[in-house]
Structure 1
Amino acid sequence: MSITLSIQDGVALVTLNRPEAMNSIDPQSNEQLLEAWEEVSRNEDIRVLVVTGAGERAFCTGADLKKTMPPADSAARLLYGSGARGLNFGSLQTHKPVIAAVNGYALGGGLELALLADIRICSDNAQFGLPEVRVGSIPGAGGTQRLIRAVGQSDAMWMLLTGERIDAAEALRIGLVSKVVPLAALRDTALVIARAMAANAPLAMTAAKGLAMSGRELSLAAGLELERQAFGLLRDTEDRLEGRRAFAEKRSPAFRGR
């Protein structure tokens, strides 16, 4: 399989499994990635998703140009035709938390895949870049939109317009990643974070993620009003009552998403 999916302790681990091709994405792995994302979104046993690459050299280096030929159908048919998923993974969404564990190169579509995550951590050998302008193209899976929302405008424009790479230390400095760890510790670190998150109340995590993402597009007043409504909806859930009981009884809560 070009994309593997394993589930344990409420955490789904999706691995790009083409290390011989620097985990680049060909049509088969693109389709499998879409299917894995759908499984994560609909499977109630999954509370958090971790995405990483196989091997030590690369998280993902974008499209496999040797296997990705121009499609026979028009862009309009691919995007709007019967049963169309869209042109690529750039439109993927899930209400569940996503962690990208970036091992090695995250270039082009690989960086765009990492930008889908809510939290990004990386190995100390990681490198990031959007080199598309150097070959007469642009990032086509969300890079022009998500990068400038993830880091400051000047840093985002520098990466977009020069096409140059940055290393792990620079990625941490500009806020592209939250943590840099040794390569050997990367996957375990991501899973520890994911399991801690998976122990939290799933409805509350979904609400918190949704509010934060929506709030970027709203005025402060509108965002605060949404927050007030969500707080009221969560107030009477079983999980909130369980959280209070567990705190009073000095035990770990057992959340059920109800």
Structure 2
Amino acid sequence: MSLNYEVRDGVAIITLNRPEALNSIDPEMRQELFDAWQQSAHDDNVRCVILTGAGEKAFCTGSDLKKTMPPKESPAQLTFGTATPRHLLTGMDMDKPILCAVNGYAMGGGMELALACDIRIASENAQFALSEVRLGSIPGAGGTQNLPRLVAQSDAMLMLLTGDRIDALEALRINLVSRVVAPSDLMECAMTIARRIAQNAPLSVRAAKRLVRDGRSLPLAQALALESYAFGMLRDTEDRIEGRIAFQEKRTPVYRGR
């Protein structure tokens, strides 16, 4: 298996497991990654997901160019044909939060995977780059769109147009990542955050994520209206009542996603 999947404390841990190839993505890993997203999305015991890579040298360096051949289908067939297109990020649009624990290189498609996650934690030896322009291409899995939505446009342009690498501290400075920790502390830090998320009311967590995601493309007035609608939907849920009762009784709430 080129990917490991396990669930602990309500957290699904997806580990890209090709360290000998810098965790680059071959066709087998792409399929396994898609399956892992589907499994975590449909498992009620999973409330949060962590994506990471095996080893400390690389999180993911994108597609394995030695094993990934151009598609046989034409662009028209891929877009309008009967076959379901399988994009690198397919399955990541779930409402459950996804954390990325970046250990080492996050290059090309690997960085685009990280950009598609909700929270990014980096080890001190992490490096990030979208170097496609140096190879006569562009980032094709959301890089040109997700990066400017996460960092200042000037910082995004600097990375996209030069193809230069940045280290973990620079990634922290431009708000690409939320934390930088020692490599030995990376997974502990990610699991601590993931467990805190998993302990919260799952419907509320998913609603908050969806509101942030969908609200980015809406005018403020419409986004606020959407928030008000979601608030009303959650008002009478069992979990919201449980949260208030637990607060009054000074105990930890037990949330069931209802």
TM range (shorter): over 0.9
Structure 2 gap segments, 5+ residues each: none
Take 2:79 and 2:14, find their aligned partners in 1: how far apart are those partners? 25
The alignment status of 1:187 with 2:210, answered yes or no, reads no
Take 1:50 and 1:94, find their aligned partners in 2: how far apart are those partners? 13
Take 1:166 and 1:91, find their aligned partners in 2: how far apart are those partners? 28
Take 1:102 and 1:190, find their aligned partners in 2: how far apart are those partners? 10
Match of 2:28 in 1: 28
The residue type equivalent to 2:77 in the other structure is R
The alignment status of 1:157 with 2:138, answered yes or no, reads no
Take 1:153 and 1:118, find their aligned partners in 2: how far apart are those partners? 19
Take 2:90 and 2:7, find their aligned partners in 1: how far apart are those partners? 23
For the Cα contact (< 8 Å) 2:34–2:91, is it kept in 1? no
Match of 2:3 in 1: 3
Match of 2:65 in 1: 65
SS at match of 2:121: strand
SS at match of 1:251: coil
Match of 1:171 in 2: 171
What pairs up with 1:89-238 in 2 under 5 angstroms? Answer: 89=89, 92-238=92-238
What TM-score, normalized to structure 1? 0.97
1:194 deviates by 0.3
1:90 deviates by 5.8
Q: Deviations over 1:157-193 (max 9, x none)?
A: 1000000000000000000000000000101110111
SS at match of 1:51: strand
For the Cα contact (< 8 Å) 2:130–2:164, is it kept in 1? yes
Cα distance 1:8–1:191, how it changes in 2: closer, same or farther (>3 A)? same
The residue type equivalent to 1:183 in the other structure is P
Take 1:117 and 1:194, find their aligned partners in 2: how far apart are those partners? 13
Take 2:236 and 2:47, find their aligned partners in 1: how far apart are those partners? 21
SS at match of 2:84: coil
Take 1:72 and 1:242, find their aligned partners in 2: how far apart are those partners? 54
1:70 deviates by 1.3
Question: How many positions carry a matched residue from both structures?
Answer: 258
Match of 2:54 in 1: 54
Q: What percent identity do the matched residue pairs reach?
A: 59
Take 1:94 and 1:123, find their aligned partners in 2: how far apart are those partners? 25
What TM-score, normalized to structure 2? 0.97
Q: Which moved more, 1:149-158 or 1:83-92?
A: 83-92
Take 1:244 and 1:9, find their aligned partners in 2: how far apart are those partners? 23
Take 1:35 and 1:89, find their aligned partners in 2: how far apart are those partners? 12
1:8 deviates by 1.4
For the Cα contact (< 8 Å) 1:30–1:89, is it kept in 2? no
The residue type equivalent to 2:214 in the other structure is S
1:91 deviates by 6.8
Match of 2:13 in 1: 13
Take 1:18 and 1:234, find their aligned partners in 2: how far apart are those partners? 42
Take 2:163 and 2:3, find their aligned partners in 1: how far apart are those partners? 27
Take 2:241 and 2:92, find their aligned partners in 1: how far apart are those partners? 33
Take 1:90 and 1:104, find their aligned partners in 2: how far apart are those partners? 24
Cα distance 1:219–1:248, how it changes in 2: closer, same or farther (>3 A)? same
SS at match of 1:92: coil
For the Cα contact (< 8 Å) 2:38–2:91, is it kept in 1? no
For the Cα contact (< 8 Å) 1:105–1:127, is it kept in 2? yes
Cα distance 1:255–1:87, how it changes in 2: closer, same or farther (>3 A)? closer
1:79 deviates by 4.0
